Structure 1
Amino acid sequence: MRDNHDMISPFGVRLSVCTAALAAALGAAVVSAPPAAAGPEYPVVTDAGVASVTGDMQPAEMSPPGANVKGCRSEKTPVVLLHGTAQNQMSAWQYLAPTMANRGFCVYSLTYGQASWSAQIGGLAPREKSAKQVAALVDRVLASSGAQQVDLVGFSQGSAVAQLFTQLPGRAAQVRHLIGMGPSNRGTSTVGSIADRLPARAPGENDWGPLHSSIQYLMVMTRHDEIATPYRHGFLPKAPNVRNVVVQDHCPNDTVGHVGLPYDSWVGATVMNTLTGNTAKPRCTVGFPL
């Protein structure tokens, strides 16, 4: 149980509200990305540490800027963002959601996997339940947008939940791209084996079931990951529709860690380029090192 003064960070670090407020006052880097044509300009948070701490203090229902905008219309495929373990949508997506919205994407997110004791924090319930929550969101997105498919972008456990969703009957056909940041497709040495799979892994498959030839997969890893370890466990089996990317193969000086992946501008640009077919090389930066 947490009291009124302490809170748990996404990876088990207890921080005081006062510390969070001080961090917000001293270190929050908020910038504005170029707006989409005829659309609002949403504020973009670039500091992963501040976003993680302050975001987890927000209600589970609170959407990051640019996400879940009623009546959003775009020629681009709708994008569904799925946060990681012990997070909510605000702690994970205060950079990518507004950045994508400012570039003309219709972006959707939710806080999935809340437990009876976890208050506003998600990613803690059985993944089978979480995959069904994602299914309900996808149904709403397709109905409201008129689109036939969505693009799924998951961070950490969110990548696994995205893959579990595609194993549900009829759901793979609803997904165009599936992108994972810091995934643990073959388990992680820091967490141990993960048993709640849907369906169980067959020989030669990743932990989250078979891949689908109709889906384009992109997995983005960092060599400095201290959560999803070893980082090579994020690789999916080689296939024509699979692309495995390690940040440092393209940006050797980028020391971004696990928490920083959704806030790394090179990673974000790579995600958007993948979804739009843009072949330009993103500019390298140095991301949040944890």
Structure 2
Amino acid sequence: MASGWRVPVRRRAAVVVAAATVALGMVTAGAGLAAAAPRYPVVTDAGIASVTGDMQPAHVSPPGSNVPGCRSDAPPVVLLHGTAQNQMSAWQYLAPMLANRGRCVYSLTYGQTSWSAQIGGLGRRETSAVQVAAFVDGVLRRTGARQIDLIGFSQGNAVAQLFTQLPGRATQVRHLIGLGPSNKGVSRLGAITDRLPARAPGENDWGPLHPNIRYLMVMTRRDEVSPPYTNGYLPAGPNVRNVVVQAHCPADTVGHVGLPYDSWVGGLIDATLAGRANAARCTVGYPL
């Protein structure tokens, strides 16, 4: 700058105003970023979540789930855990992840018995489906929604499909997403009343599919709980998607237990519910 250079008073005032405007914009942007920060903590380690979750009482909800007064333009999401789990051991990733994206998320521990303490998924599946129906009625009543998006892990997928066979229930479901499902045959951990006869040739073990429901089944080739993983496939149809993780992420070592904690799978679920392509990066998931 040349010696003796002076900025006219008016121009100096304009520069000060402009600088203040930029500074205010930076502060506002920073505040916006803070407001957009994740509200609920997310756990991605399936091993830790399984152990710590199973020690929690059955009524304890994962972060972001069963939040009183939740409102969203999207249908509420109902989460159904697997065999010998409760809602905390299954959903410490997906529940807060979906809630952080603005969805109302609901979960319960179903299928408890007189001897299972805080653990669920051990009763008869037909009875569990009726229990889920009562829970769904409460969700619809609280939210004013007409439909739900239903996500079931392992046995939870079977219970979800049995729920849709109850009179009038299929119309209440927009998406039905199964993680590590066993739609044909018996899984190693699910031998307790795990199977119903298929109603007709070409149907899965849990009954007919419904044309108004959009089905997504997510499998892993490394599934050692419900092998072979191909038992998770549903019959082909315009409203059915069967997805194998390694077909998109060959290096992902995720196993059965890790599916609800795999970030690529989480991205797929989020994208499916939003009606867009999955932009999540591949990861290396929990191998069991």
| TM-score bracket for this pair, using the shorter chain length | 0.7 to 0.9
Residues 1:254 and 1:61: Cα distance change in structure 2 (over 3 Å): same
The alignment status of 1:270 with 2:278, answered yes or no, reads no
Q: Deviations over 1:145-186 (max 9, x none)?
A: 111000000000000000000000000000000000000000
The answer to whether the Cα contact below 8 Å between 2:129 and 2:162 also exists between their aligned partners in 1 is yes
CA contact (8 A) 1:36 1:101 kept: no
If each structure's helix is expressed as a fraction of its own residues, which one has the higher value? 2
1:228-259 per-residue CA deviation (whole Å, 9 max, x = no partner) reads 11000000000000000000000000000000
Percent of residue pairs bearing the same amino acid type:
75
Matches of 2:231 and 2:134, distance apart in 1: 29
Aligned residue number for residue 22 of structure 1: none
| TM-score normalized with structure 2 length | 0.85
The whole-number CA distance in structure 1 between the counterparts of 2:276 and 2:190 is: 37
After superposition, what is the alpha-carbon deviation per residue over 1:100-119, rounded to whole angstroms, capped at 9, x for unaligned?
A: 00000000000000011000
Q: Mark the CA change 1:189 to 1:159 in structure 2 (over 3 Å): closer, same or farther.
A: closer
Of the structure 1 ranges 130-139 and 199-208, higher mean CA displacement relative to structure 2 is found in 199-208
* 272-281 or 260-269: bigger deviation: 272-281
- State the partner residue of 1:157: 155
Q: Distance in 2 between matches of 1:242 and 1:139?
A: 26
Whether the 8 Å contact between 2:80 and 2:160 is mirrored in structure 1 is yes
Q: What is the correspondence of 1:211-226 to structure 2 with a 5 Å cutoff?
A: 211-226=209-224
Counterpart-to-counterpart distance in 2, 1:143 and 1:186: 34
Distance change in 2, residues 1:214/1:130 (3 Å): same
Residue in 1 that maps onto 2:44: 46
Which deviates the most, 200-209 or 167-176?
Answer: 200-209
Q: Confirm or deny that 1:94 pairs with 2:92.
A: yes
Equivalence for 1:137 = 135
Give 3-state SS (helix, strand or coil) of 1:44's partner.
coil
**1:80 aligns to 2:78 (yes or no):** yes
Distance of aligned partners of 1:189 and 1:261 in 2 relative to their CA distance in 1, 3 Å threshold = closer
**Corresponding residue of 2:119:** 121
The answer for unaligned runs of 5 or more in structure 2 is: 1-31
Displacement after TM superposition at 1:281 (Å):
2.8
Matches within 5 A, 1:1-290: 41-188=39-186, 190=188, 200-290=198-288
Q: Residue 141 of structure 1: SS of its match in structure 2? A: helix
**TM-score normalized with structure 1 length:** 0.84
Write out per-residue CA displacement over residues 1-24 of structure 1, whole angstroms, 9 at most, x where no aligned residue. Answer: xxxxxxxxxxxxxxxxxxxxxxxx
Gaps in structure 1 of 5+ consecutive residues: 1-33
**SS at 1:151 equivalent:** strand
How far is the alpha carbon of 1:202 from its aligned partner? 1.9
- Which residue is 1:21 aligned to? none
Q: Distance in 1 between matches of 2:41 and 2:131?
A: 28
Work out whether residues 37 and 104 of structure 1, in 8 Å CA contact, stay in contact via their aligned partners in 2: no
- Between the aligned partners of 2:178 and 2:93, the Cα distance in structure 1 is 16
User: What displacement does 1:38 show?
Assistant: 7.4
Could you report, residue by residue, the CA deviation over 1:45-75 in whole angstroms, capped at 9, with x for unpaired residues?
A: 1110000011000000000000000000001
Q: Distance in 1 between matches of 2:228 and 2:215?
A: 20
RMSD: 2.0
Alpha-carbon separation, structure 2, partners of 1:196 and 1:165? 15
Amino acid at match of 1:100: L
CA distance in 2, matches of 1:136, 1:88: 18
Contact 2:155 2:190 in 1 (8 A): no
- Pick closer, same or farther for the CA change 1:268–1:166 going to 2, 3 Å: same
Aligned residues: 257
Give the ranges of 4+ consecutive aligned residues of structure 1 lying more than 4 Å apart after TM superposition.
34-40, 191-200
Distance of 1:133 and 1:85 partners within structure 2? 15
Separation in 2, partners of 1:149, 1:189? 30
Q: State the Cα distance separating 1:261 from its structure 2 match.
A: 0.2
